[in-house]
Amino acid sequence: MGYFERENRNIMNLLLWINQSNGDTLTAIPLMEAIIKQFPNVNIKFACFKSQSYLVRHLPIQIIEADGNYRNLVMRTRPDYFLRKIKPFIKPEDTLIHLWGGLYNLKHIWQDQIKTFNQQCANNNINLFLDNSEFGYIELPIVDVNVKANAVYVENSQPVSGQTNFQYDMYKLGLMFPRINFYTVGPINFSANNVHDCSKKSLIELSSISRKCKLILGKGSGPFFCTLNEENKHKTKVLAGLMGGFRYKFWNLNDENTLLLDTEQEIFELLRPINRGQ
């Protein structure tokens, strides 16, 4: 069902918005899917930065694109700046819902994403309450990607939020584990047959690449969140070097397949059996 079909019912109009980085925008996807499923008479508008809007185009919603760069700290910490960008698209019948869990000091987990929405609804006197009993996987469109055998996905880029300073040494990993094909989300400055630079790929393409990988080495930013689809739920996923208030298992606190690691040696132990073809 398309957005304009839903609009004709004219029951309730929600304008959901997020002025944060890619990971936060990705976590809004299963939330909006839950709203659509649980409240079919609600029309959804979603406002995000223009560079992120492609991530939600597969949903039956109206998208509002805001000019600006999510890497700009002012744009992320001053909501009024963002709201000024989208003001021309706000209608009198729209109720604005801010989806950033940081409003309530919540974590980057599914249950807290639901809590943020429910709290915002309560604050706006909206009689909606989302049930979180069905886990919200982050599903992006599947596209055709070429991935070689024995593949490992590596989030070697630096997170915008600064939750870790861990560095994946791709040159060393490529030499130590020649039978593994590493797919890096960040650029590399060398050439190797088994290290593949995917820094020009979109998060949709990276999500599809991750589906064909045996292991996900992450840091907890957008390129990690785009791997959190149902197909990957049983794969080992690493969050390396998380610090302070970020030290927890992102999106699913109880996921036995997500590991919080801190050293290269721990990473090596995961890679050795893959390199042996196990």
Q: How much is the pLDDT for 6?
A: 41
β-sheet bridge partners, residue 155 = none
DSSP one-letter string for the chain: --HHHHHTT-SEEEEEE--S-HHHHHHHHHHHHHHHHH-TTEEEEEEEEGGGGGGGTTSSSEEEEEPS-TT-HHHHH-HHHHHHHHGGG--TTEEEEE--GGGGT--SBHHHHHHHHHHHHHHTT--------S--------------SSEEEE--SPPTT--------HHHHHHH-TTSEEEESS--SS-BTTEEE-TTS-HHHHHHHHHT-SEEEE-SSHHHHTT-SGGGTTSEEEEES--GGG-S-SB-TT-TTEEEE-SHHHHHHHHHHHHTT-
pLDDT at 7: 43
**Domains of the chain and any CATH numbers:** 3-123 (3.40.50), 151-275 (3.40.50)
Q: What's the pLDDT score for residue 1?
A: 39
**pLDDT number for residue 77:** 80
pLDDT of residue 3: 42
What is the structure's pLDDT at 10? 55
User: Which among 138, 108, 207 has a CA at the least distance from the CA of 216?
Assistant: 207
Please report the pLDDT score of residue 40 as a whole number. Answer: 92
Residue pair 52/64 in contact by the 8 Å Cβ criterion: no
- The HSE-up count of residue 79 (CA atoms within 13 Å, CB side) is 10
The one-digit pLDDT tens for each residue of the chain (278 residues) are 344 344 444 579 999 999 999 999 999 999 999 999 999 999 999 999 999 999 999 999 999 999 988 887 777 888 899 999 999 999 999 999 999 998 899 999 999 999 999 999 999 999 999 999 999 999 999 999 999 999 999 999 999 889 999 999 999 999 999 999 999 999 999 999 999 999 999 999 999 999 999 999 999 999 999 999 999 999 999 999 999 999 999 999 999 999 999 999 999 999 999 999 87
The per-residue pLDDT for 68 is: 87
